[in-house]
Structure 1
Amino acid sequence: MRIAVTGSIATDHLMVFPGRFADQLIPDQLAHVSLSFLVDGLEVRRGGVAANIAFGLGGLGLTPLLVGAVGGDFAEYEVWLKEHGVDTGAVRVSAERQTARFMCITDEDANQIAAFYAGAMQEARDIDLAALTAPGADRPDLVLVSPNDPAAMLRHTAQCRELGLPFAADPSQQLARLDGAEVRELVTGARWLFTNEYEAALLLERTGWDREQVLGVVGSWVTTLGEAGVRIDRRGHDPVVVPAVPDAAVADPTGVGDAFRAGFLAGVARGLAVEPAARLGCVLAAETLGVVGSQAYEVDPGRLSAAAARAYGADAAELLAPVLGDR
């Protein structure tokens, strides 16, 4: 199964605050917040939602096509991605802007305050997905529309419908920038919809829909629940709930949701049902949680299989063999 991943490609600047954000907030002064946090360290890592997901898919043996916009400073990052199984042939290089920057502070409770500079990502709206279906092109079987320049997300979703390309919707962080009509446009007709629990509530607020109305326009709704795992909803079916890997080491939560998506989509691409696919997503997410940086983990089939067996049992781990294989 050929998966094209559209979305952000960025450099992550990750900082750690040795305290709790909540302790710094004064309830009757929230309308006038002016805070500066003295952090303990700075890690500069490769990131961006689309690049993180593509990295995970490549590590699991697929050859995902990365679709996004970067600056002239992308060369070293591109080599890294290619070495990890990612096809960068559809990446646009800006002549004017640098690659996007994600700046994030994480406190001791794993809460985060972040900012994102779009940079070259603004040019993603100029990428034409029609090139993916041109004669001689390796037509994708699924296009994931993940957080990106909002105009690019809307254009690529519309093009998927026009070109007959099945797509998955992952609006996540950009929900705050989108109005109700735009959110409805992005999710309607999606084979898969991905959100976390907070984003699910925000999506309902933005669209004005209830859960059943959302399920009426998407194939399946996948909601990550943090420590509680993941829930998969389909219209007319009971929800499927898969618990997270218990007692996972916590080093940095950045990119954990992206790793889940990579594991889940790799499982689906290899023919797994939604429950074992979600288990694989949870196992890969736990690997990411234990390291600093969204692409700092290694896909070790033996380690992942052992983690799945501990979390879900030997039979569940055996179901993941078609995806993990021998690499």
Structure 2
Amino acid sequence: MKSLICGSLAYDTIMMYEGRFSEALLADQLHKINVSFLVPGLRREFGGCAGNVAYNLKLLGGDPLIMATIGQDGAPYREHLDKLQISQQCIKSIDDSYTGQAFITTDAGGNQITAFHPGAMSFSHHNKVADAGDVKIAIVAPDGRDGMLQHAQHCADLNIPLIFDPGQGMPMFNGDELKNFIELATYVAVNDYEAEMLTARTGLSLEEIAQRVSALIVTRGEQGAEIFTGTEHLEIPCVKADGIVDPTGCGDAFRAGMLYGLTNDFDWATTGRLSSLMGSIKIASQGPQNHAPSRAEIEERFHKAFGYRL
């Protein structure tokens, strides 16, 4: 059964800074920052939340359907998706815009500073959820503001179970709008920083948010993740990675595990563990879409980490 992934397609320009950002920032001068970071390492990757989630879901054997907008420079991305055999049915080209562009600088501590040009994302509302046909679940991830609002509402109107994943798009919405997303959603997924921002903007505690959805998922990096359901509070351990190479796209890999678990009716403990494993696999590889374990390798790593098979 298809999983509808509403979100961005983007090119990621990823730069590696060998020091730490904190060493270049003066606490008493934050009102007039003027810093420059020497970045010996630079790569250009296929990225964007929708692309990253779909890539990882495909690795698991899922059936991702991307709903996104792409620009006049989108031909390489379309060729990439063709090679992956990922449907482009709901990808719309915007000929007078560029594809979204993320410029990500990562320091030696894994901290990131990102600048993002939305480009074609700003027209994401031109896509209609009804055009996707029969889907079992959907996720609304960072995208154009109007598109996120519209896609969440349309999923609710069509009774499609929805994961709301505000991510770096959260600053676009005020407290009332975020509350409305929560009301429309079946599940909410955030990292620990986003969880604090969500509670601050809505005035709702994590417990209150959890009461409004079937499950609230909070990822906490190396500390694993927490899943709050109506009856359970699960602590999901972090899976030891082969190496800590690049955190870009780890959250998207985690969400692919969620989609796979939910579409296959796994319990929350198994869904959370699979999600944690996918993040662990991704962080050991440069870029968000370069790791390529087989499904059999993923299953074996799951068994090794948790003592039972999917």
Q: Report 1:33-72 matches (<5 A).
A: 33-72=33-72
Q: What is the alpha-carbon distance in structure 1 between the residues aligned to residue 166 and residue 261 of structure 2?
A: 21
Whether 2:277 is the aligned partner of 1:283: answer yes
What CA deviation, in whole Å up to 9, does each residue of 1:217-255 have, x standing for no partner? 2110011110011110013x2311110112541110000
Partner-residue secondary structure (3-state), 1:12: strand
Query: TM-score if structure 2 supplies the norm length?
Result: 0.96
What CA deviation, in whole Å up to 9, does each residue of 1:99-143 have, x standing for no partner? 0001010000000001110001111022122323xxxxx311111
1:42 Cα deviation from its structure 2 partner? 0.7
Q: What is the alpha-carbon distance in structure 2 between the residues aligned to residue 220 and residue 194 of structure 1?
A: 8
State the match for 1:325 in structure 2: none
Whether 2:189 is the aligned partner of 1:179: answer no
How many residue pairs end up in the alignment?
310
Q: What is the alpha-carbon distance in structure 2 between the residues aligned to residue 180 and residue 156 of structure 1?
A: 18
The partner residue of 1:163 within 123, 135, 158 is: 158
Q: Report 1:81-96 matches (<5 A).
A: 81-96=81-96
Structure 2, gaps ≥5 residues long = none
Partner-residue secondary structure (3-state), 2:87: coil
Task: Tell me the C-alpha RMSD between the 2 structures.
Answer: 1.3
State the match for 1:217 in structure 2: 212
Q: What is the alpha-carbon distance in structure 2 between the residues aligned to residue 310 and residue 131 of structure 1?
A: 41
Structure 1, gaps ≥5 residues long = 133-137, 321-327
Whether 2:162 is the aligned partner of 1:130: answer no
State the match for 2:101 in structure 1: 101
The answer to whether the 8 Å contact 1:154/1:185 transfers is no
Q: Report 1:128-277 matches (<5 A).
A: 128-132=128-132, 138-235=133-230, 237-277=231-271
The answer to whether the 8 Å contact 1:101/1:118 transfers is yes
State the match for 1:303 in structure 2: 297
Q: What is the alpha-carbon distance in structure 2 between the residues aligned to residue 191 and residue 85 of structure 1?
A: 29
The percent identity for this pair of structures is 31
What CA deviation, in whole Å up to 9, does each residue of 1:130-163 have, x standing for no partner? 323xxxxx31111111100111101111111222
The answer to whether the 8 Å contact 1:249/1:289 transfers is yes
Whether 2:74 is the aligned partner of 1:80: answer no
The answer to whether the 8 Å contact 1:55/1:85 transfers is no
Partner-residue secondary structure (3-state), 1:297: coil
Q: What is the alpha-carbon distance in structure 2 between the residues aligned to residue 212 and residue 263 of structure 1?
A: 24
For 1:309, the aligned partner's letter is: H
State the match for 1:9 in structure 2: 9
| Higher relative strand content | 2
The answer to whether the 8 Å contact 1:229/1:243 transfers is yes
